[in-house]
């Protein structure tokens, strides 16, 4: 399954049956309310017809004094003169109640459906593996996961409702037309039909522009996110101007798109009005003749013309509703494209739980690539004994981080095998596999919340004693004493209110409380100054005790203390041994690196 999201229309946008099937389970729980809502739309649609119809008895009976008979009922001038004003009040009450109930139900069901879609999509988002996040921009993901479900679900009910309302509106008004004069009705309906034909022509154009608008919208969100996440870099490199220009360009693009749409759509309404006015003129012309010849009453004619005028709105709406329906399906298509994304990395059906590490870890002829045909690890083999600390060194971009990212299966390898105690890691249950591995990165992510909450993420049911122990071991105790709220200090989004070293020690405490047998340190101290590094290193030493450790570091001391050192060069394991062994290789990679990179540090240490 392809992970890269399309920027505009998904392939399924026009498979209506498929989409209806897909969305049905989300509508089902709210079916009674949806049906009630749609049923209420029927009388609401018919109300216009009632108004137009009432004009005939009003004019003929109340004003011109004729008696009015419907079947066996005969109504006198006086009765009607009183009944009609009361009728208006009753009509307003009925209309108000219906409209309120109808809008309430539309909002209620629309939001419920939208929420369940969003929750499901968020669940999906959390199950996708790193590759998804590598290849899709945040702006695109945000629109796709946040805006589309809203558009889709709110539109579904709204559009269905409007469709029913306008259809019944048209039926009601056309009935009144026919009731008053079928000859005039034919003229009126034909001209009305001509007036709305242009709508069908521009629908395609509208769709194209709305897609383009969405792409620009996504780009704008990305710009916001980058400004947010990269604000330090932006400030440091004085990129404000550049970001501003980028954003202004996007705003301009959006404006151009909107205006191009207005240009194309804006002339429609006047033209439709024009055609309609011709229609009214023709009807009047012929209607006057009918009245003069006595074939039609004045009341009938007033009722007829009013119906025709009122008909314009629902007919126009019907066109818009069809366009909306299309938009809804396009949004639905995108939503369900997301539902169909399957994580690349999944549990085998017969997966087994990993309990702990007993003997060791082995990489066996591992080939790995992020992108097709660009191998990053090439025939990589390495055995690590339980309890061993292995350092990975090598040139930047050589594949050190990649190697350790394969252990918790952030990515799957192309061929070869990675085994824990002789069992392929693909055979283990994913969660249990990840429970056995602790990671400390260069820049550790803290979630918004308190320090305690962040530490507890390593082990939600930890006791107070366990927390106190890891705080000590992570050398956080002194720091926490300086905080008014101690452990319950709020750390801000991404832990922004802590220093690099403090954040790192919270992350180490989180890893410690997890107490996983395998520990991975990827440049865990690289971003720190000497002073913070010393204390973080002490915390790390505690974390590493009695564990199987992979350490990627830029400091000699850390490397020196490792049991063995693996040198990775352009994705290949080129040397393996202790510091002393590797130093004896003439022209060796490690010796070279050491002399280049580490010797200088040793002088400083």
Contact residues for ligand ADP, defined by CB under 6 A: 134, 370, 376, 394, 396-402
CB of 519 to ligand ADP, least distance (A): 17
Q: Are 81 and 62 in contact (CB under 8 A)?
A: yes
Tokens coding 77: 């001038």
The answer for residues whose C-beta is within 8 angstroms of residue 489's C-beta and 6 or more apart is 450, 451, 480, 483
CB of 135 to ligand ADP, least distance (A): 8
Q: How many CB atoms lie within 10 A of CB 429?
A: 14
Q: How far apart are CA 378 and CA 269, in angstroms?
A: 65
Q: In this complex, which beta carbon is closest to ligand ADP, that of residue 473 or of residue 567?
A: 567
Q: In this complex, which beta carbon is closest to ligand ADP, that of residue 237 or of residue 370?
A: 370
Instruction: List residues bridging with 565 in a β-sheet.
Output: 391, 577
The region of 370-378, 396-404, 435-443, 472-480 touching Mg ion under the rule CB under 5 A is 396-404
Q: How far apart are CA 204 and CA 196, in angstroms?
A: 15
**Which of Mg ion, ligand ADP, none does 490 bind, CB closer than 5 to 8 A by kind?**
none
Q: Are 506 and 498 in contact (CB under 8 A)?
A: yes
**Which of Mg ion, ligand ADP, none does 397 bind, CB closer than 5 to 8 A by kind?**
ligand ADP
CB of 552 to ligand ADP, least distance (A): 7
Q: In this complex, which beta carbon is closest to ligand ADP, that of residue 372 or of residue 464?
A: 372
Task: List the Cα angle 344/350/353 in 5-degree steps.
Answer: 90
Q: Are 30 and 112 in contact (CB under 8 A)?
A: yes
Q: In this complex, which beta carbon is closest to Mg ion, that of residue 401 or of residue 542?
A: 401
CB of 401 to ligand ADP, least distance (A): 3
- Answer for which of 401, 432, 542, 597 binds Mg ion (CB under 5 A) is 401
**Which of ligand ADP, Mg ion, none does 426 bind, CB closer than 5 to 8 A by kind?**
none
CB of 400 to Mg ion, least distance (A): 5
CB of 391 to ligand ADP, least distance (A): 13
Q: How far apart are CA 335 and CA 329, in angstroms?
A: 10
**Which of ligand ADP, Mg ion, none does 228 bind, CB closer than 5 to 8 A by kind?**
none
DSSP letter for 428, please.
Answer: B
Pick from 426, 418, 411: which is nearest to 352 by CA? 426
Q: In this complex, which beta carbon is closest to ligand ADP, that of residue 299 or of residue 398?
A: 398
**Which of Mg ion, ligand ADP, none does 339 bind, CB closer than 5 to 8 A by kind?**
none
539 CB-side CA count, 13 A = 31
DSSP for 483-549, written as a single string: STTGGG-B--GGGTTS-HHHHHHHHHHHHHHHT-SEEEEESTTTTS-HHHHHHHHHHHHHHHTTSEE
CB of 478 to ligand ADP, least distance (A): 33
Q: How far apart are CA 229 and CA 221, in angstroms?
A: 12
Q: In this complex, which beta carbon is closest to ligand ADP, that of residue 399 or of residue 500?
A: 399
- For residue 116, state whether it binds Mg ion (rule: CB under 5 A): no
**Which of ligand ADP, Mg ion, none does 376 bind, CB closer than 5 to 8 A by kind?**
ligand ADP
Q: How far apart are CA 42 and CA 206, in angstroms?
A: 29
Q: In this complex, which beta carbon is closest to ligand ADP, that of residue 163 or of residue 550?
A: 550
Task: List the Cα angle 89/94/97 in 5-degree steps.
Answer: 125
| Cα-based distances in Å from 384 to 357, 412, 572 | 11, 20, 16
The region of 42-50, 153-161, 174-182, 397-405 touching Mg ion under the rule CB under 5 A is 397-405
Instruction: List residues bridging with 450 in a β-sheet.
Output: 490
Q: In this complex, which beta carbon is closest to ligand ADP, that of residue 596 or of residue 603?
A: 596
Tell me, by CB under 5 A, how many residues bind Mg ion: 1
CB of 218 to ligand ADP, least distance (A): 21
Q: In this complex, which beta carbon is closest to ligand ADP, that of residue 3 or of residue 286?
A: 3
CB of 558 to Mg ion, least distance (A): 15
Q: Are 565 and 579 in contact (CB under 8 A)?
A: yes
Q: In this complex, which beta carbon is closest to ligand ADP, that of residue 400 or of residue 434?
A: 400
**Which of ligand ADP, Mg ion, none does 396 bind, CB closer than 5 to 8 A by kind?**
ligand ADP
Per CB under 5 A, residues contacting Mg ion are 401
């Amino acid at each position: 399954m392809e992970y890269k999201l399309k920027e505009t229309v998904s392939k399924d946008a026009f498979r209506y049956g498929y989409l209806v099937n897909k969305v049905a389970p989300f509508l089902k729980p709210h079916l009674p309310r949806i049906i009630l809502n749609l049923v209420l739309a029927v009388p609401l649609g018919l109300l216009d017809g009632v108004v137009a119809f009432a004009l005939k008895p009003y004019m003929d009976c109340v004003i011109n004094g004729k008696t009015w008979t419907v079947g066996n009922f005969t109504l006198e001038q006086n009765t009607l003169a009183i009944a009609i004003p009361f009728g208006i009040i009753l009509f307003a009450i009925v209309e108000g109640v219906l409209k309120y109930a109808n809008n309430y139900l539309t909002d209620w069901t629309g939001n419920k459906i939208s929420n369940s879609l969003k929750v499901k999509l968020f669940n999906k988002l959390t199950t996708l593996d790193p590759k998804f996040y590598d290849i899709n921009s945040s702006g695109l993901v945000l629109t796709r996961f946040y805006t589309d479900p809203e558009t889709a679900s709110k539109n579904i009910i709204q559009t269905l409702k409007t469709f029913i309302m306008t259809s019944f509106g048209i039926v009601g008004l056309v009935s009144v037309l026919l009731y008053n004069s079928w000859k005039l009705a034919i003229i009126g309906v034909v001209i009305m039909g001509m007036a709305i034909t242009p709508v069908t022509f521009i629908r395609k154009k509208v769709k194209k522009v709305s897609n383009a608008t969405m792409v620009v919208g996504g780009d704008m969100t990305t710009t916001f996110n980058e400004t947010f996440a990269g604000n330090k870099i932006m400030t440091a490199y004085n990129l404000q101007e550049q970001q501003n220009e980028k954003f202004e360009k996007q705003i301009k693009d959006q404006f151009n798109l909107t205006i191009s749409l207005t240009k194309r759509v804006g002339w429609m309404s006047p033209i439709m009005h024009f055609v309609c006015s011709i229609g009214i003129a023709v009807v009047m012309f012929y209607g006057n003749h009918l009245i003069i010849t006595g074939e039609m009453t004045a009341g009938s004619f007033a009722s007829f013309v009013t119906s025709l005028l009122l008909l314009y709105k629902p007919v126009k709406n019907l066109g818009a509703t069809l366009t909306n329906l299309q938009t809804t399906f396009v949004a639905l298509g995108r939503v369900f494209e997301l539902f169909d994304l399957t994580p690349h990395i999944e549990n085998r059906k017969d997966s087994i739980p990993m309990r702990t590490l007993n003997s060791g870890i082995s990489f066996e002829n591992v080939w790995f690539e992020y992108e097709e045909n660009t191998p990053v690890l090439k025939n990589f083999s390495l055995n690590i004994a339980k309890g061993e600390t292995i350092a990975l060194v090598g040139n930047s971009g050589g594949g050190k981080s990649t190697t350790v990212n394969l252990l918790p299966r952030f990515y799957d390898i192309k061929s070869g095998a990675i085994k824990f105690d002789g069992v392929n890691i693909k055979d283990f249950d994913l969660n249990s596999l990840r429970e056995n591995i602790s990671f400390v990165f260069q820049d550790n992510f803290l979630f918004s919340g308190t320090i305690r909450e962040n530490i507890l993420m390593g082990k939600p049911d930890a006791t107070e004693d366990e927390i106190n122990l890891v705080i000590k071991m992570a050398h956080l105790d002194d720091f926490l004493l300086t905080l008014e709220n101690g452990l319950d200090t709020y750390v801000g989004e991404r832990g922004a209110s802590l220093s690099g070293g403090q954040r790192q020690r919270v992350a180490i405490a989180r890893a410690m409380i997890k107490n996983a047998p395998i520990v991975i340190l990827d440049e865990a101290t690289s971003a720190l100054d000497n002073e913070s590094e010393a204390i973080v290193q002490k915390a790390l030493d505690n974390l590493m005790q009695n564990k199987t450790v992979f350490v990627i570091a830029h400091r000699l001391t850390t490397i020196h203390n490792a049991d063995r050192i693996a040198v990775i060069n352009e994705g290949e394991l080129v040397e393996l041994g202790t510091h002393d062994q590797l130093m004896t290789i003439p022209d060796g990679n490690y010796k070279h690196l050491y002399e280049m990179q580490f010797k200088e540090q040793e002088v400083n240490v």
